Amino acid sequence: EVYQINLTSRMTAASDISLSDFVRWSQDMPHAVFMSGPDTTICSASPEMFFERDGGFVWSKPMKGTVGRQPDATADDANAQWLQSSVKNRAENVMITDMVRNDLARLSSTGKVSVDELFGIERYPSVWQMTSTVKTAVEASIADIFSALFPAASITGAPKHAAVDVIDRLEDSPRGIYTGALGLIRPNGFASFNVAIRTAWSASRAHGSQFGVGGGIVWDSDPSEEFEEVQTKARILKQPDPEFHLFETMGISDGQIVRKNHHLKRLERSARYWSFCINTEAIESYLTELLR
Structure confidence at residue 24 (pLDDT): 59
CATH code assigned at 217:
3.60.120.10
Whether the Cβ atoms of residue 29 and residue 46 lie closer than 8 Å to each other: yes
For residue 64, indicate whether it is catalytic.
yes
Segment 84-127, tens digit of pLDDT: 999 989 998 998 999 999 999 989 988 899 999 999 999 887 78
For residue 61, indicate whether it is catalytic.
no
Task: Give the DSSP letter of residue 235.
Answer: G
Task: Give the DSSP letter of residue 193.
Answer: E
- Residue 221 sits in the same domain as residue 269: no
Residue 102 carries which side chain, given as an amino acid letter? N
Structure confidence at residue 232 (pLDDT): 80
Per-residue pLDDT, averaged over 28-40, amounts to 83
Structure confidence at residue 75 (pLDDT): 92
Whether the Cβ atoms of residue 48 and residue 31 lie closer than 8 Å to each other: yes
Choosing from 52, 61, 64, 229, the catalytic residue is 64
In a domain, 246, yes or no: no
- Residue 40 sits in the same domain as residue 95: yes
Structure confidence at residue 100 (pLDDT): 93
- Lowest mean pLDDT: which of 146-160, 202-216, 270-284? 270-284
Q: Is the pLDDT of residue 242 over 60?
A: no
- Residue 167 sits in the same domain as residue 215: yes
pTM, whole model, 2 decimals? 0.75
- Residue 232 sits in the same domain as residue 258: no
- Residue 220 sits in the same domain as residue 274: no
Contacts 24+ apart (CB under 8 A), 108-111: 108/136, 108/137, 108/138, 109/56, 109/136, 109/137, 109/138, 109/139, 109/140, 110/136, 110/137
Task: Give the DSSP letter of residue 107.
Answer: T
Round the average pLDDT of the chain to a whole number and report it. Answer: 86
Q: Helices in 131-222 by DSSP H: which ranges? A: 142-149, 160-170
In a domain, 127, yes or no: yes
Question: pLDDT-based confidence at 241, cuts 50/70/90?
Answer: low
Q: Is the pLDDT of residue 162 over 90?
A: yes
Give the whole-angstrom CA distance, residue 187 versus residue 231: 40
Give the whole-angstrom CA distance, residue 253 versus residue 190: 57
Domain that holds residue 271: 252-291
Structure confidence at residue 283 (pLDDT): 85
- Residue 221 sits in the same domain as residue 272: no
Per-residue pLDDT, averaged over 150-156, amounts to 92
* Total structural domains within the chain: 2
- Residue 175 sits in the same domain as residue 283: no
- Residue 230 sits in the same domain as residue 127: yes
Give the whole-angstrom CA distance, residue 146 versus residue 139: 13
- Residue 41 sits in the same domain as residue 150: yes
